[in-house]
Chains A and B, each alone.
Chain A
Amino acid sequence: MFQHPRMTAREEPLAELLPPLTDHEALVEANRCLFCYDAPCTHACPTHIDVPRFIKKISTDNVIGSAATILDANLLGATCARVCPVQELCEGACVLGAEHKPIMIGRLQRFATDYVSARGIDIFKPGLHTGKNVAVVGAGPAGLSCAGELAKLGHRVTVFEKRPFPGGLSTYGIISLREPVPVSLAEVESIRRLGVEFRTGLALGQNLSFPDLQTEFDIVFLAVGLGATPALDIPGEEHIVDGLEYIEASKMDRSSLHIGRHVIVIGAGNTAVDCATVGRRLGAERVTIVYRRTADEMSAYPHEFEFAKAEGIEFRFLAQPTRVVATISGVAGLECASVSLGQSDGSGRPAPRPIPGSEFIIPADQIVKAIGQEKWLSSGSLQLATDRGFLRVNEEFETSLPGVYAGGDAIRAHGSCSTVMAVQDGKLAAAAIHRSLARNSDEEVAA
């Protein structure tokens, strides 16, 4: 069993932000739901959880049935209840949002999924074994979702994960203020109890052979996510801390995490806000997010921007990092150039144009970069076709190699990456894989 290396203390600055709903709060909120028909919240949810149904079940005191409704559509319902940008999805679509307050769908979902998790109730059972073996590479949301769904259908699934713990970004990359590590690991355990085998510390192309997987398994599902944070290509880059590593240390090994007095976070996505929150909550006096465009173009969700401001995080817009100012004693600041915004570039946003001679220095003793992730780099060596650097899959989530499927961030050539989208990929891919395996069985019988 995977256990969190260190239990979270009560006064933990990164303790889960929202308290769980009490039974009474959940009941009152559930009763507020109108029980819409063909509800927009369900439409908006990438996994199409039947939201009114699970909420109605909370109101009728059928909380296990509620959790079953959620997990039937989304095996990682406990994670999604916490990390989903509900303002952009279910709650954003709630019919009560216009003139009232939308239903707290995320927190109700958490109430129901925590209820079964806390009581050790397993909603699903492993299916009768089909004799088919599937390898899942990557134990993040897409891999877990696919593995769990296939195990429910009776396929023998082995998940290969390069890190010591499964869970992917849920375990390593979402700050514990949003999702504590034990929640992610409990989900892993629920999938393990469906008969899924986890083999950690195995990285594809290093100590895990792709051809061996293809030989040993009927199907391979690649849920490998994205690669490392790209380089900024500025002088002094070696002094810059990787944002994902910064977050990972805050969750898994706090003692190894150094927090500066004045922290600069480069980038303006949700990960940048998370890094800034880590810095702020763990003791930095000032945290400044530096972004080369403006608040209008930042990729962080509007509610994340509001959250960051409430945390006391400062923003420096229209500033392009040009050089890390380092002295013998370490980082002293970040030199930036002022930027003017030009015509729309390939990303659909105005191109930032540094103004010559406008350089200025923001003092800082720690610089963190959170400027997205590179594509998964091994696709070429595996002879897999790509689309703008992402793995190319067909409607059935099958890659250019027969029997090799993929899902999650690794295939997200269009749209933005999110946990819930990855879960849906895993679920749909599992259904496609199941269809394919069933076809193969029929052919074997026919032969």
Chain B
Amino acid sequence: MADLRIDFAGIRSPNPFWLASAPPSNSGAQVQKAFEAGWGGVVWKTIGAPVLNVSNRYGAWHYAGQRMLAINNVELISDRPIDVNLREIAEVKRNWPDRAVVVSAMVESKPDAWADIVRRIEDTGADAIELNYGCPHGMSERGMGSAVGQVPEYCEQITGWVKQAARIPIIVKLTPNITSIVSPARAALAANADALSLINTINSIVGVDLDNLEITPNIGGKGGHGGYAGPAVKPIALNMLSALGTDEIVSRSAVPISGMGGISNWKDAAEFLLLGAGSLQVCTAVMHYGFRIIEDLCDGLSRWMDSKGFRTVAEVTGRSLPRISEFKNFDLAFRAVARINPERCIKCNLCYVACNDTAHQCIDLIANDGSAVQPLSYGVRENGKASAVDSRPQPRVREEDCVGCRLCYNVCPVERCIEMVELPPCRPSTTWDQLSKSEPAVTEDWEAMKNYREEKGIHIH
């Protein structure tokens, strides 16, 4: 069995899965229950400045019958008395010495306030502190949360104050509500942060109620932007995670990164690890299904690691990062075409309509006699199961015209029906970068491009 233990900036936990700083880690009783279920660690819900919360805190995005593909919230940091939180943190850590207990903190942007909260957290015996520079709502209006995370200078300054006061590791949690995630990360590193975590929630308005025209969620007739999280944000999180992993300064620093943002199952978890995460934080999936999901997170990840021959989480971390590149380095001669397996095809024609209406018009409908036919070509008096099924044409890709856009592959509802087949290149391998150096005119002038295409036999219809 794979070894799921991690050592993350000196923080040890029996598996890489931590509850993210959020409602699931709001109290000692909840964290106790989570640890009983098997969670490797917790990032306690942010403690710090005094707050009051409102009702109707969570909105959600549901789609096509699937509940909560994303959640949106205007809940603030912990509204429980800070002493109660600190006492429970101490109790939990005492009872669960093998689990990671990280405390998220957010106070006013004053050195004394930060020094004070650091000392009080350290007194609990907690393993580390996560600086919440991410909350996009409420706290940011008071100069905290993302108001800090969006300004690299503030990140550096406050991280500096904290590092001066702290003896335990400091994790800086980044907000995604920024143009370049690298800038605040570098700022945190400049102030000697021990680790980074990302992403916090994304600015969002989750919807409008079409009955009463109120914003969702409706808070006494008003609504506003909240933090967006859950399965729908995963691709954004993966991109930001890999942006850190591929940044020269961040990667050279070798500080570990705790990844989060839409992790719902072990497959998501593995992807975060492969793109550079050293630990993983989960919130929305737990809010949807409860602490019990930890069982398959560990079980699935462990079995996948075994199947791939990975012995430790550290071996997985960052494994796919070297494959992250940029468009200019992609091989322009690489060639793949879609191929539809008629044995598996159910003839729903979703590939056909997607390709013909919105992509590159290279899927035909082939009748039983081998001829290409137009859709909706049956007569008004033709009907019945046999007529509909027996005469139904088979979608087929005209490979010579297929640009390999992969849209059909993505819309096909049948597993392993459409395959993207790699074909031998028709011309020597080259990249845009190479081309712009060797033949700069081609990349700047349509006429030169036309000549280049003719010379290379590139035909675009």
Q: Residues on A close to B: CB < 8 A?
A: 27-28, 31, 34-41, 43-46, 48, 59, 87-89, 92-93, 95-96, 98-99, 421, 424, 428
**Given A27-B65, A37-B348, A38-B376, do A88 and B384 touch, yes or no (CB 8 Å)?**
yes
Q: How many positions in chain B have a CB within 8 Å of any CB in the partner chain?
A: 25
* Residues of chain B within 8 A of A89, CB atoms compared: 383-385
Q: Contact check, B349 vs A45: say whether CB atoms are below 8 A apart.
A: no
Query: Of B65, B380, B389, B413, which is within 8 A of A40 by CB?
Result: B389
Q: Contact check, A31 vs B65: say whether CB atoms are below 8 A apart.
A: yes
**Given A38-B375, A93-B388, do A43 and B383 touch, yes or no (CB 8 Å)?**
yes
Secondary structure at the A interface, as helix, strand, loop or mixed, is loop
Query: Of A37, A92, A428, which is within 8 A of B352 by CB?
Result: A37
Residue among A27, A34, A428 with max Cβ neighbours from chain B (10 Å): A34
B window 61-76: CB within 8 A of A: 64-65
Query: Of B346, B375, B380, B382, which is within 8 A of A98 by CB?
Result: B346
Q: Which residue of B lies closest to A98 (CB)?
A: B346
Q: Contact check, A35 vs B383: say whether CB atoms are below 8 A apart.
A: no
**Given A27-B65, A93-B385, do A40 and B353 touch, yes or no (CB 8 Å)?**
no
Q: Contact check, A36 vs B65: say whether CB atoms are below 8 A apart.
A: no
- Check: B330 CB closer than 8 A to any chain A CB: no
* Residues of chain B within 8 A of A428, CB atoms compared: 380-381
* Residues of chain A within 8 A of B438, CB atoms compared: none
Q: Contact check, B350 vs A59: say whether CB atoms are below 8 A apart.
A: no
Q: Contact check, A44 vs B383: say whether CB atoms are below 8 A apart.
A: yes
Query: Of B349, B387, B389, B413, which is within 8 A of A38 by CB?
Result: B349
Q: Which residue of B lies closest to A38 (CB)?
A: B375
Q: Contact check, A34 vs B385: say whether CB atoms are below 8 A apart.
A: no
- Check: B5 CB closer than 8 A to any chain A CB: no
Q: Residues on B close to A: CB < 8 A?
A: 64-65, 346-350, 352-353, 365, 375-376, 378, 380-385, 387-389, 391-392, 413
User: In angstroms, how far is the closest chain A Cβ from the Cβ of B403?
Assistant: 21
Q: Contact check, B65 vs A34: say whether CB atoms are below 8 A apart.
A: no
Question: Besides A34-B348, A45-B383, 16 other CB < 8 A contacts?
Answer: A27-B65, A34-B350, A34-B413, A36-B349, A38-B349, A38-B365, A39-B348, A40-B388, A43-B391, A44-B383, A44-B389, A46-B384, A89-B384, A92-B385, A93-B385, A421-B383
User: In angstroms, how far is the closest chain B Cβ from the Cβ of A129?
Assistant: 28
User: In angstroms, how far is the closest chain A Cβ from the Cβ of B445?
Assistant: 40
**Given A36-B349, A96-B346, A98-B346, do A43 and B387 touch, yes or no (CB 8 Å)?**
yes
Q: How many angstroms from the CA of A46 to the CA of B385 in the assembled complex?
A: 10
Query: Of A43, A59, A98, which is within 8 A of B388 by CB?
Result: A43
Q: How many angstroms from the CA of A41 to the CA of B348 in the assembled complex?
A: 11
* Residues of chain B within 8 A of A48, CB atoms compared: 380, 383
Q: How many angstroms from the CA of A36 to the CA of B352 in the assembled complex?
A: 10
Q: How many angstroms from the CA of A421 to the CA of B413 in the assembled complex?
A: 33
Query: Of A37, A87, A98, which is within 8 A of B350 by CB?
Result: A37
Q: Contact check, B375 vs A37: say whether CB atoms are below 8 A apart.
A: yes
**Given A37-B375, A96-B346, do A31 and B64 touch, yes or no (CB 8 Å)?**
yes
A-B contact pairs, 27 of them (CB 8 A): A27-B65, A28-B65, A34-B350, A37-B348, A37-B350, A37-B352, A37-B353, A38-B365, A38-B375, A40-B388, A43-B382, A43-B388, A43-B392, A44-B384, A45-B383, A46-B384, A48-B380, A89-B383, A89-B385, A93-B385, A93-B389, A96-B346, A98-B346, A99-B346, A421-B383, A428-B380, A428-B381
Q: How many angstroms from the CA of A43 to the CA of B385 in the assembled complex?
A: 8
User: In angstroms, how far is the closest chain B Cβ from the Cβ of A154?
Assistant: 23
Residue among B349, B376, B382, B385 with max Cβ neighbours from chain A (10 Å): B385
Q: Contact check, B378 vs A43: say whether CB atoms are below 8 A apart.
A: yes
* Residues of chain B within 8 A of A421, CB atoms compared: 383
Q: Contact check, A88 vs B385: say whether CB atoms are below 8 A apart.
A: yes
Q: Contact check, B65 vs A37: say whether CB atoms are below 8 A apart.
A: no
Q: How many angstroms from the CA of A13 to the CA of B392 in the assembled complex?
A: 42
* Residues of chain B within 8 A of A99, CB atoms compared: 346
Residue among B350, B381, B413 with max Cβ neighbours from chain A (10 Å): B381
Q: How many angstroms from the CA of A96 to the CA of B350 in the assembled complex?
A: 13
User: In angstroms, how far is the closest chain B Cβ from the Cβ of A61?
Assistant: 9
* Residues of chain B within 8 A of A41, CB atoms compared: 388
Leading 4 A-B pairs by shortest Cβ distance: A92-B385, A31-B65, A38-B375, A44-B388
Q: Which residue of A lies closest to B353 (CB)?
A: A37
* Residues of chain A within 8 A of B384, CB atoms compared: 44, 46, 88-89
Q: Which residue of A lies closest to B365 (CB)?
A: A38
User: In angstroms, how far is the closest chain A Cβ from the Cβ of B88?
Assistant: 40
* Residues of chain B within 8 A of A59, CB atoms compared: 64-65
Q: How many angstroms from the CA of A38 to the CA of B373 in the assembled complex?
A: 12
Q: How many angstroms from the CA of A424 to the CA of B379 in the assembled complex?
A: 13
Q: How many angstroms from the CA of A89 to the CA of B65 in the assembled complex?
A: 27
Q: Contact check, A44 vs B349: say whether CB atoms are below 8 A apart.
A: no
Q: Contact check, B350 vs A35: say whether CB atoms are below 8 A apart.
A: yes
User: In angstroms, how far is the closest chain B Cβ from the Cβ of A42?
Assistant: 8
User: In angstroms, how far is the closest chain A Cβ from the Cβ of B435?
Assistant: 38
Q: Contact check, A44 vs B350: say whether CB atoms are below 8 A apart.
A: no
* Residues of chain A within 8 A of B64, CB atoms compared: 31, 59
User: In angstroms, how far is the closest chain A Cβ from the Cβ of B355?
Assistant: 11
* Residues of chain B within 8 A of A36, CB atoms compared: 347-350
User: In angstroms, how far is the closest chain A Cβ from the Cβ of B394?
Assistant: 12
User: In angstroms, how far is the closest chain B Cβ from the Cβ of A377?
Assistant: 27
Q: How many angstroms from the CA of A35 to the CA of B348 in the assembled complex?
A: 8
